[in-house]
Structure 1
Amino acid sequence: MAATAEVETRTDSSRERSAPQVELAVLGKRVPNRKAICDVPALAAEIEEVAGDLKDPTFRRGAILDLLKAALADATGEIRRRLEATNDGAACVRGRAWLMDQIIGVIATHAAEREFPATNPTTSERIAVTAVGGYGRGELAPQSDIDLLFLLPYKQTARCEQIVEYMLYLLWDLGLKVGHSTRSVAECIRQAHADITIRTAMLESRFLWGDDALYEEMREKFMADIASGSPLEFVEQKLQESDNRHRRMGDSRYVVEPNIKDGKGGLRDLHTLFWISKYVYRIEDVAELVPRGVLDLAEARRFAQAQKRLWTIRCHLHYLTGRPEERLTFDVQPVIAERLGYTDRAGAIAVERFMKHYYLTAKDVGDLTRIFCAAIEAEYKRRRRRFRLPKMFGEQRFGDFRVEGDRITLIDDDAFQRDPVNLIRLFHDSHFRDLMIHPHALRVITQNQTLINADLRRDPEANRLFLEILSSPKGPERILRRMSEARVLGKFVPDFGRVVAQMQFDMYHTYTVDEHTLVCLGVLHAIEQGELKEVAPIATDVVHKILSRRALYVALFLHDIAKGRGGNHSILGERVARRVCPRLGMTEEETDTVAWLIRWHLLMSDTAFKRDVHDPKTVEDFARIVQSPERLRLLLVMTVADIRGVGPHVWNGWKAQLLRDLYYATDEMLTGGTSPTKTGARVAAAKRKVAEQLAGWTEAEVEAHLALGYDPYWLGFDTETLVRHAWLVRRAQASDARLVVEHRLDPDREVTEVTVYAADHPGLFSRIAGAMSSVGANIVDARIVTLADGMAIDTFMIQDDKRQMFDRSDRLARLASAIERTLDGSLRLEEQLEKKGTLTTRRTRAMKVPPRVLIDQKASVTHTVIEVNAHDEPGVLHRMTRALARVGVQIHSATVSTYGERFVDVFYVKDVFGLKIDSARKLDEIRGALLDSLGVKPAEKTK
């Protein structure tokens, strides 16, 4: 049994000499100035001295533990200091692996020679300590587990069990997270046959200490019995494993809070490529793939750079959080960006620049994956689905392309040099012929990127082919994503290239700008195909009435093209469209339509979610900009696609209802229907519909009820709601109740409607809002009505903290109780809200949203409209409405919209006399009170 003062990783020197010199963090690479990390001989000598002096096992163990703790603390600090000084994550994980090698070696030597010595150990008492998993690769992140395999020749013996137990307890007492297994050689081989995870771990195994002949026996049997079979089975399983993992993680490398280990384009994908290389090519170093022709030198360097960058981010993440955190959440992104030296630049803050480089790294990983798959296919000519080899004899050719099975590739590697338009034509033919693109063709594209220049961008044929792709009836999302990943799309449309991998540092957007654009195009195609009929019925209906279909697809492709340029991206995007559309071959009319859509692509959502869609002035102002039914249809479909393309949980039934109401009201006005300005006729019609449904009421009772509501009340609700209110008022009056709280679940809009009937008084809305917040309800819309008899009917649409219906019976009971106790004064609302405020997450606090109060006197004829933008947190609506009540403002209606960490609340208000607020002094007082409620300091209000 070999006892070494310092554990060395063995390498094949001849293989190292033959491999190209590529800066790769690979197994066996030496750690510089190791003595500064840990003086291993000195540590071993100290332990030996303690072992000789202390005869009591308990005292001896305690003293040794103290020595190891001190050495470990010093070494860990040195490794961290090196990372912070150099930002070299590769050196960090190598250094930690080397350190653990030494700690384990010293402990094992002491256990075998001092604690459980054997003068003449038997063959069955042989033991080898082996590193497996990531640790076996020689990589160990700061918070990663140390995975060990204790290898035995046969079954466990008493002495081996004592050694293993001593080592594990000492490692655990050092605070290390150790995963372990104890197996014989035969058990290792048997379990590797049955379990792909164990097989992978053994593939990466590395000898640490003990009987190296035993370890070599296991390796030889593994290679002979396991790896000598079909390596393609292993490849298939590992790639399928990757696919499954990607689906669990959202199947996109462009999410705004990526998992740097298991996400698409993360470290695990690089590990998978290494496993495949090691299994198929029997290599220990990625650089060895270059002479084999699997990678060229530039690709090997990209592998190394991607790996080093991901390691660096992961190490910083582990140190920053103090746990094995793998997600780059919003709260840590700015900190890591700063540690990596990023600074703000024009049009992009430091964290967005950092994340853009992360996404480009993830894209490199995707490119390398395709290259690996192509190389493996070329070597083994597999006839399996994943690699899609020919299904029939013969070869189909067209132009400079040919078909292998169901994949398009090149006749020869000079196809793009002969005709650069082939760089676009390849994707066009792939899409319309339903062919996958061969990885080799993608590799040749990468080698000919310089051909995508100004001449190609001006070429009429190239632009015609691209426009056909973009407006394809088959849906362009998939093929455009392939063009983007091949770096063709960003070069052919340089304005799109500027937003590739560009993140938006907020909690509203789920994807980067380019990924959001492609997702939106997929949503638009799904609308056309009727796949979203249940959730977006109006858009599904009107999309087939649109006459400017091509313009719609181009507008959606370009709608966020100007983000990150330091100005209003809608206005800047309009300018881009007027430049790009003629180049693509679009007519003047189409160009004008595209430009208009981009300029106003946020108009419909802003109007529906921030204004009272039942206010005639809202519809008039909106219709004045839209002007035509065709533009209204285009804007509706584009708005639905844009919102659903933000993320899976942004769209809901409530937003659909608001857009639907605005669409119908505007369409009625634009097509010559009933004008929204004819209020009297509309009120009379609404009252008549309600009266018709009040069965069992006398004429006098109907008239008395209809007299309670003012005109806006009858126009602000649909007939069904108005009838429910009538019955609620009747029941309350019959029982002389001064407070009634009712709720109704609305699955279509994914909200719970809560109606509160109570005596009106200043601050009523504020207190109800506070009560709702105290039990975890989020108000997504509210409408306040005061009846002629002084009673109020306040209607709230609420959701839970996951933006779903607030529908649990116990929570609804607590909600009703909280409202009742708040209004009678028995609930200490401020105390409850203060507790809720502590629940704000670190991720949310990381987002900076400067508070802003806008007062609009033009949006409504009868009301002053106040818009507040600020950071969302529990109780904020209560604080704002309480501030309004204190300065004598009556709230007529409130619309609440939440965009991740930011909210936009819009209040339609009047003064205490029921009039629109005209006084400049009063408006300043209102603005100041709201800013106070948002925690803005006096000095900041004047900035």
Structure 2
Amino acid sequence: MHVIIWMLRVCFNHFNFDRINIPAINANEWKNILTDYNKIKVLRYFLNYKYGTNRISFDYQISIARKLGHQNRKSLSSVELFMKEFYGIASRISDFNELFIQYCHENLKNNKKSKSIKTKNLFLKDILDIFHKIGNRNKEFYIDLNTLSSIKSSIRKIKDQEFLSSDIQKSFIKLLTSKYNLSSILKKLKQLGLLKKLIPEFGEIEGQIQFDRFHSYSVDEHTFKVVRNMRQMFINKVDQTLKVECELIRRLPKIEILYLAGIFHDLGKGKGGDHSKIGIKIFKKFALRSKMNKSDSFLISWLIENHLFMSSVAQRMDVYDLKTVKNFTKTVDTVEKLDYLYLLTINDIRGTNEELWNSWKHNLLKQLYLSSRKILNKEIRIGDKSNINEKKNKLNTIFSVQNKKTKDILMQMPDIYFQKTSLRSLEKHFHLLKTLNASGVSILVEKNKDYLKLNLISKNMSGLFLRICNILNTLLLEVVDANINTSKDGKIAINTFLIKHRKLGNKLNNDDLKKITNRIKKAFNEEKLDILKIGKVSNPFSFKTHVEIHNDLQSNKTVVTIEALDTANLLSRIAKIFYENKIDVDSARITTLGERVEDNFYVFDRKTESNVSENKCARLQKVLLRL
């Protein structure tokens, strides 16, 4: 707004802000913009007076919401209501800024790229036809201000029921198949208020946020980002790491099915409750209005209901275990469902939070997708060890007879280790085993695109997981994922940790990697295991810790699932509890979701080397709930 005020003074010699004659903004809209501007000024003054900042951080949002008189409602908390109002104000000012810049271009340079439509009585079909023409024209998206003014004026005169007619709803679906400018078209439909006329429930999620670090955007902005990600993937304007997905998305029988799933998957959040189930009800109303065929309607409803399923399995379960994949395919029972769900999942995550998407998460999802596809196509079956045997045979071929002792140690590892470890990593582990030093540890730290990979091979020992967690915590390294594998004879542990620095992320040089390696080796040379006094760290968010423990009869291990607020030392605290209760970790899956974590551990009783007894599980759960 400051820039606009300056431009009005300098470029237009305009000092009275009560009214500016911009065609696409009527008197009432201008009044609302001034009101929004005054609210922003009051909010900024309060932030500076109370906290000495212009930033509405998580730490201040709750107190500001209370100060402004917002009360909790059934579907939204007071802070979410406050931020919804703020996002609405910011969005309207942003839209006005866009129109004002266009106004400057058209008036100062007489820059008009298309013929104006000046009638104030456009039919709804005519309005949508304008967007259809733009969508099928390989030119930059542009609608002049006079035409925008005509569209807005006409929309106000059209009855709500007309927007919900079958022909208009079908026209909207057809719009999603536009060859060009789809993202810009959807954005303009929202700015004009057309989108919430076509899909009334969309208006309920405009500006809606969730008070967490997991969701970076309001629900409506997230929805646009998801569809935009899909569109960019379809026209091959994405990173080369998504090459497979680009090919897959162009082979979909109906791209509009994916776009509709992207538009509707979170619309249920405006109602409160299970947004997936509510989203299905919202979509079914749309499907009836548009007279969509039953097969398309069923598929989109299924995608909305299960849009979190694939990411949940990839993050919580071992996607290299064929039993996990088999269970997954019981729900995702056709290749068509799998293709659509995979593409929806990837673009949903990419549109939620830029820090959430990384090559590690991509690899997990791709592994689950490829394995599921093979099972659905009956290319592999449960219990098939051909892949494991192939890797073992290649290792035997690569390494000579002189390395028999090292090979024998490696062959002591369980099948699941070979199943989830690439041949390249197996070769690295082979060399690390050869250099296992007197202290009983061999380390390799690799730098990948999004994270560091710590390969740590050591003699198995009591409290190994706690020792590693303490070391990493001291080095300000947080664990993204952990694969812990113990040899069948219990003598050797081959551990792979995906880690990143809490402050520097992945911006570490080779000297940093050497220092990390040396510090870990030095810590392992210390015979005594330090049981650090680890306290809780304050967190502006609230989340009730949830712990589930059950015995897995097939693996003879106990599965511990922990959902809790993320803190810098959480993993060390969990490891300390395991150690003190004489429980060893067999494998772990660490998942960070904004301000909270979902950690899954396969553990066993140190004394019996089997699953944990029911009484001990109950005691363990009580202790873990105090995290």
1:846 counterpart SS class? coil
Task: Write the distance in 2 (CA, Å) between the matches of 1:286 and 1:389.
Answer: 26
Measured against aligned partners, the alpha-carbon deviations of 1:618-655 in whole angstroms (never above 9, x if no partner) come to 11111111111111111111111111112333211111
Task: Write the distance in 1 (CA, Å) between the matches of 2:448 and 2:104.
Answer: 54
> What letter matches 1:885 in structure 2?
Y
Aligned equivalent of 2:133: 429
Aligned equivalent of 1:328: 56
Task: Write the distance in 1 (CA, Å) between the matches of 2:519 and 2:468.
Answer: 9
Q: 1:468 Cα shift?
A: 1.8
Task: Write the distance in 1 (CA, Å) between the matches of 2:148 and 2:528.
Answer: 70
Task: Check 1:547–1:430 CA distance in 2 against 1; reply closer, same or farther (3 A cut).
Answer: closer
- Please say if 1:764 is aligned against 2:464: yes
Kindly indicate whether the alpha-carbon contact (under 8 Å) linking 1:742 and 1:755 is maintained by their aligned counterparts in 2.
Answer: yes
Aligned equivalent of 1:306: 36
Measured against aligned partners, the alpha-carbon deviations of 1:404-454 in whole angstroms (never above 9, x if no partner) come to 2xxxx4241122xxx233343333333334451122333344444444544
Measured against aligned partners, the alpha-carbon deviations of 1:286-309 in whole angstroms (never above 9, x if no partner) come to 12547x999654234213211211
Task: Check 1:288–1:779 CA distance in 2 against 1; reply closer, same or farther (3 A cut).
Answer: closer
Task: Write the distance in 1 (CA, Å) between the matches of 2:569 and 2:279.
Answer: 37
1:474 counterpart SS class? coil
- Please say if 1:412 is aligned against 2:119: yes
Aligned equivalent of 1:177: none
Kindly indicate whether the alpha-carbon contact (under 8 Å) linking 1:618 and 1:860 is maintained by their aligned counterparts in 2.
Answer: no
Q: 1:612 Cα shift?
A: 0.9
Aligned equivalent of 1:399: none
Structure 1 unaligned spans of 5+: 1-269, 391-402, 935-943
Task: Check 1:625–1:871 CA distance in 2 against 1; reply closer, same or farther (3 A cut).
Answer: same
Task: Write the distance in 1 (CA, Å) between the matches of 2:181 and 2:349.
Answer: 18
Task: Write the distance in 1 (CA, Å) between the matches of 2:161 and 2:531.
Answer: 68
Task: Check 1:524–1:300 CA distance in 2 against 1; reply closer, same or farther (3 A cut).
Answer: closer
- Please say if 1:851 is aligned against 2:545: yes
Task: Write the distance in 1 (CA, Å) between the matches of 2:24 and 2:160.
Answer: 33
> What letter matches 1:314 in structure 2?
R
- Please say if 1:687 is aligned against 2:415: no
**446, 464, 470: which one aligns with 1:744:** 446
Q: 1:746 Cα shift?
A: 2.7
Kindly indicate whether the alpha-carbon contact (under 8 Å) linking 2:205 and 2:219 is maintained by their aligned counterparts in 1.
Answer: yes
Task: Check 1:646–1:317 CA distance in 2 against 1; reply closer, same or farther (3 A cut).
Answer: same
Task: Check 1:306–1:741 CA distance in 2 against 1; reply closer, same or farther (3 A cut).
Answer: same
Task: Write the distance in 2 (CA, Å) between the matches of 1:519 and 1:689.
Answer: 44
Aligned equivalent of 1:927: 621
2:217 counterpart SS class? coil
Task: Write the distance in 1 (CA, Å) between the matches of 2:78 and 2:559.
Answer: 36
Measured against aligned partners, the alpha-carbon deviations of 1:174-228 in whole angstroms (never above 9, x if no partner) come to xxxxxxxxxxxxxxxxxxxxxxxxxxxxxxxxxxxxxxxxxxxxxxxxxxxxxxx
Aligned equivalent of 1:271: 2
Q: Which moved more, 1:818-827 or 1:538-547?
A: 818-827
**What is the RMSD computed on CA atoms of the aligned residues?**
2.7
> What letter matches 1:741 in structure 2?
I
Give the alignment's TM-score, normalised by structure 2.
Answer: 0.92
Task: Write the distance in 2 (CA, Å) between the matches of 1:427 and 1:472.
Answer: 9
1:740 counterpart SS class? strand
> What letter matches 1:896 in structure 2?
I
> What letter matches 1:499 in structure 2?
I
Measured against aligned partners, the alpha-carbon deviations of 1:701-732 in whole angstroms (never above 9, x if no partner) come to 47623542122222231222122212211222
- Please say if 1:729 is aligned against 2:456: no
Measured against aligned partners, the alpha-carbon deviations of 1:246-265 in whole angstroms (never above 9, x if no partner) come to xxxxxxxxxxxxxxxxxxxx
Measured against aligned partners, the alpha-carbon deviations of 1:783-827 in whole angstroms (never above 9, x if no partner) come to 111122512122111112268436434433443344345442578
Task: Check 1:672–1:885 CA distance in 2 against 1; reply closer, same or farther (3 A cut).
Answer: same
Indicate the percent of aligned positions where both proteins have the same amino acid. 24
Kindly indicate whether the alpha-carbon contact (under 8 Å) linking 2:24 and 2:152 is maintained by their aligned counterparts in 1.
Answer: no
Aligned equivalent of 1:563: 269
Task: Check 1:632–1:296 CA distance in 2 against 1; reply closer, same or farther (3 A cut).
Answer: closer
**648, 659, 662: which one aligns with 2:368:** 662
Aligned equivalent of 1:606: 312
Q: 1:856 Cα shift?
A: 5.2
Measured against aligned partners, the alpha-carbon deviations of 1:659-681 in whole angstroms (never above 9, x if no partner) come to 121112111111111213334x4
> What letter matches 1:340 in structure 2?
L
Runs of 4+, deviation exceeding 6 Å: 292-295
Aligned equivalent of 1:75: none
Aligned equivalent of 2:493: 792
Structure 2 unaligned spans of 5+: none
Task: Write the distance in 2 (CA, Å) between the matches of 1:475 and 1:294.
Answer: 21
Task: Check 1:412–1:689 CA distance in 2 against 1; reply closer, same or farther (3 A cut).
Answer: same
> What letter matches 1:331 in structure 2?
D
Aligned equivalent of 1:118: none
- Please say if 1:526 is aligned against 2:199: no
Kindly indicate whether the alpha-carbon contact (under 8 Å) linking 2:589 and 2:601 is maintained by their aligned counterparts in 1.
Answer: yes
Larger radius of gyration: 1
Kindly indicate whether the alpha-carbon contact (under 8 Å) linking 2:131 and 2:185 is maintained by their aligned counterparts in 1.
Answer: yes
Task: Write the distance in 1 (CA, Å) between the matches of 2:129 and 2:161.
Answer: 15
> What letter matches 1:762 in structure 2?
S
Task: Write the distance in 2 (CA, Å) between the matches of 1:614 and 1:803.
Answer: 31
Aligned equivalent of 1:382: 109
Task: Write the distance in 1 (CA, Å) between the matches of 2:506 and 2:267.
Answer: 35
Q: 1:776 Cα shift?
A: 1.3
> What letter matches 2:388 in structure 1?
V
Kindly indicate whether the alpha-carbon contact (under 8 Å) linking 2:467 and 2:529 is maintained by their aligned counterparts in 1.
Answer: no
Kindly indicate whether the alpha-carbon contact (under 8 Å) linking 1:464 and 1:584 is maintained by their aligned counterparts in 2.
Answer: yes
Kindly indicate whether the alpha-carbon contact (under 8 Å) linking 2:280 and 2:301 is maintained by their aligned counterparts in 1.
Answer: yes
| Structure having greater relative contact order (Cα 8 Å, sep ≥ 6) | 2
Task: Write the distance in 1 (CA, Å) between the matches of 2:7 and 2:448.
Answer: 52
Q: 1:552 Cα shift?
A: 1.1
1:589 counterpart SS class? helix
Kindly indicate whether the alpha-carbon contact (under 8 Å) linking 1:475 and 1:525 is maintained by their aligned counterparts in 2.
Answer: no
Kindly indicate whether the alpha-carbon contact (under 8 Å) linking 1:513 and 1:560 is maintained by their aligned counterparts in 2.
Answer: yes
Kindly indicate whether the alpha-carbon contact (under 8 Å) linking 1:798 and 1:806 is maintained by their aligned counterparts in 2.
Answer: no
Aligned equivalent of 2:600: 906
Q: 1:849 Cα shift?
A: 2.4
Kindly indicate whether the alpha-carbon contact (under 8 Å) linking 2:124 and 2:155 is maintained by their aligned counterparts in 1.
Answer: no
2:207 counterpart SS class? coil
**705, 720, 729: which one aligns with 2:424:** 720
Task: Write the distance in 1 (CA, Å) between the matches of 2:609 and 2:507.
Answer: 33
Kindly indicate whether the alpha-carbon contact (under 8 Å) linking 1:558 and 1:598 is maintained by their aligned counterparts in 2.
Answer: yes
2:240 counterpart SS class? coil
Aligned equivalent of 1:261: none
Aligned equivalent of 1:915: 610
Measured against aligned partners, the alpha-carbon deviations of 1:544-567 in whole angstroms (never above 9, x if no partner) come to 332232211111111111114322
> What letter matches 2:617 in structure 1?
L
Aligned equivalent of 1:801: 502
Task: Write the distance in 1 (CA, Å) between the matches of 2:232 and 2:252.
Answer: 15
Task: Write the distance in 2 (CA, Å) between the matches of 1:642 and 1:568.
Answer: 17
Aligned equivalent of 1:148: none
Q: 1:608 Cα shift?
A: 1.0
Task: Check 1:911–1:617 CA distance in 2 against 1; reply closer, same or farther (3 A cut).
Answer: farther
Task: Write the distance in 2 (CA, Å) between the matches of 1:375 and 1:332.
Answer: 37
Kindly indicate whether the alpha-carbon contact (under 8 Å) linking 1:605 and 1:639 is maintained by their aligned counterparts in 2.
Answer: yes
1:357 counterpart SS class? helix
What is the correspondence of 1:245-324 to structure 2 with a 5 Å cutoff? 270-287=1-18, 289=20, 296-321=26-51, 323=52
Task: Write the distance in 1 (CA, Å) between the matches of 2:65 and 2:353.
Answer: 25
Task: Write the distance in 2 (CA, Å) between the matches of 1:858 and 1:503.
Answer: 38
Q: 1:682 Cα shift?
A: 4.3
Kindly indicate whether the alpha-carbon contact (under 8 Å) linking 1:381 and 1:389 is maintained by their aligned counterparts in 2.
Answer: no
Task: Write the distance in 2 (CA, Å) between the matches of 1:293 and 1:675.
Answer: 66
Kindly indicate whether the alpha-carbon contact (under 8 Å) linking 2:591 and 2:599 is maintained by their aligned counterparts in 1.
Answer: yes
Kindly indicate whether the alpha-carbon contact (under 8 Å) linking 2:118 and 2:150 is maintained by their aligned counterparts in 1.
Answer: no
Aligned equivalent of 2:343: 637
What is the correspondence of 1:509-588 to structure 2 with a 5 Å cutoff? 509-588=215-294
Kindly indicate whether the alpha-carbon contact (under 8 Å) linking 1:617 and 1:860 is maintained by their aligned counterparts in 2.
Answer: no
Aligned equivalent of 1:205: none
**335, 338, 344: which one aligns with 2:66:** 338
What is the correspondence of 1:805-844 to structure 2 with a 5 Å cutoff? 805=506, 807-823=508-524, 824=526, 830=532
- Please say if 1:865 is aligned against 2:559: yes
Q: 1:876 Cα shift?
A: 0.7
